[in-house]
Amino acid sequence: MKRIVLLCMSVLLLVVLAACGAKADTNTAEKEVAPKEEEKKELASTIEVTDASGEKMTFETAPESIAVLNSGDLDILLALDANVTGRPTASGPVAEAAKGITEIGNPHQPNFEKIAEVHPSVLAASMSFKQHAENVERQGTKVVYTKANSIADIQETIQLFGQLFQKETEAEAINTSITEKVNEIGKSAIEPVKTLLVYGAPGTYLAALPNSLTGDLLEKAGGENIASDFPQEENYPQYASLSVEKIIERNPELVMLITHGDPEAVKAAFEGEMEKNAAWKNLDAVKSGNVVVLPSDLFGSNPGTKVIDALKVMKESLAAVK
């Protein structure tokens, strides 16, 4: 009997010890797994983006602030409710939401003193800013590059900023709206209108090519770019030198002028250029009075989320050709 009791006690002791051991192993396993789970959470909160230069960038958290050098990027960031501390210097009307934001120059003349003053976490700029990037990166500001040579480029920038500021849902909604409106406008077909897109300021004129934003808008609106095969300018690959001979040969029905400055002054100066060459007068566009100046806020610079407004203006201009 004693032996049976002792045997039972021994078995019971082994079961208790085994249970304790299992619990200890579980606790140890939990301690080992816990840091790995934390690490996963940390990695999940890290923000990774690829900008227009193709560079992959990593941010531990959404940037506290951002400054921009073009109006289109500013428009997108305001639509996403980002904290913008620096905006491009304006030559015309400024949106109410942007009036309290410090001006920091433009892509051609950035004001490094003002950029340092607002000290943004990130500066958004076009690729041409690369030559200046080191100046701001030394101050601890990261440079993110954007481009706007097509509607698709603008939508990529919207997506980029959405990822950067963890506003993916808002960015997707904006892009969906743009895509739907582009498709809607494309449904109303018109006869292709032979068009010459002229970008310029008094004394300097270039033809906009299909790989420019205005060229992309013209194509989507149903126009025919007569300069589509003109050779690209080396420093401005979205544009070409005006070839008067080819322009006369292709005889555009519509001439559209794109400018940053005073539209009427540019139109008058361009008409003066045409006066110098009598052959211009024989173009169908000139004889019919189809020389128009496109709104500078939509075509003279990146229009951002208002790119659909630019497309509508383009479509209306083509439809109005006599």
Where do the structural domains in the chain lie, given as residue ranges?
50-184, 190-319
| Whether pLDDT at 17 is above 80 | no
The predicted structure's pLDDT at residue 6: 40
Q: Residue 204: which pLDDT band, with cuts at 50, 70 and 90? A: confident
Q: Which of 204-213, 232-241, 263-272, 306-315 has the lowest mean pLDDT?
A: 263-272
| Whether pLDDT at 179 is above 60 | yes
The predicted structure's pLDDT at residue 41: 44
The predicted structure's pLDDT at residue 2: 43
| Whether pLDDT at 34 is above 60 | no
The predicted structure's pLDDT at residue 201: 66
Mean pLDDT along residues 159-167: 97
| Cα separation values, 28 from 24, 34, 37, 41, 150, Å | 6, 10, 15, 21, 57
The predicted structure's pLDDT at residue 160: 97
| Whether pLDDT at 219 is above 60 | yes
Confirm whether 50-184 and 190-319 share one CATH topology: yes
Cα 170 from Cα 156, distance rounded (Å): 14
Q: For residue 50, give both structure tokens.
A: 């690829």
Q: For residue 64, give both structure tokens.
A: 């506290």
Of 20 and 66, which is predicted with more confidence?
66
The predicted structure's pLDDT at residue 84: 97
What is the CATH T-level fold of the domain 50-184, as seen in this structure? Rossmann fold (3.40.50)
Mean pLDDT along residues 204-212: 92
Cα 141 from Cα 303, distance rounded (Å): 25
E-strand ranges in the chain read: 47-50, 56-59, 66-68, 84-87, 102-103, 122-126, 142-146, 193-201, 204-208, 223-225, 239-241, 254-258, 291-293
Q: What homologous superfamily is domain 190-319 in, according to CATH?
A: Nitrogenase molybdenum iron protein domain (3.40.50.1980)
The predicted structure's pLDDT at residue 3: 45
187 in Cβ contact with 197 (< 8 Å)? no
Mean pLDDT along residues 124-151: 94
Which has the closest alpha carbon to 215: 246, 240, 184? 240
Q: Residue 4: which pLDDT band, with cuts at 50, 70 and 90? A: very low
In the chain, the percentage of residues whose pLDDT exceeds 70 is: 84
Cα 45 from Cα 139, distance rounded (Å): 25
Mean pLDDT along residues 190-216: 89
Mean pLDDT along residues 279-289: 87
| Whether pLDDT at 5 is above 80 | no
149 in Cβ contact with 238 (< 8 Å)? yes
| Mean pLDDT rounded to a whole number for the chain | 85
Mean pLDDT along residues 232-237: 89
Of 3 and 79, which is predicted with more confidence?
79
259 in Cβ contact with 200 (< 8 Å)? yes
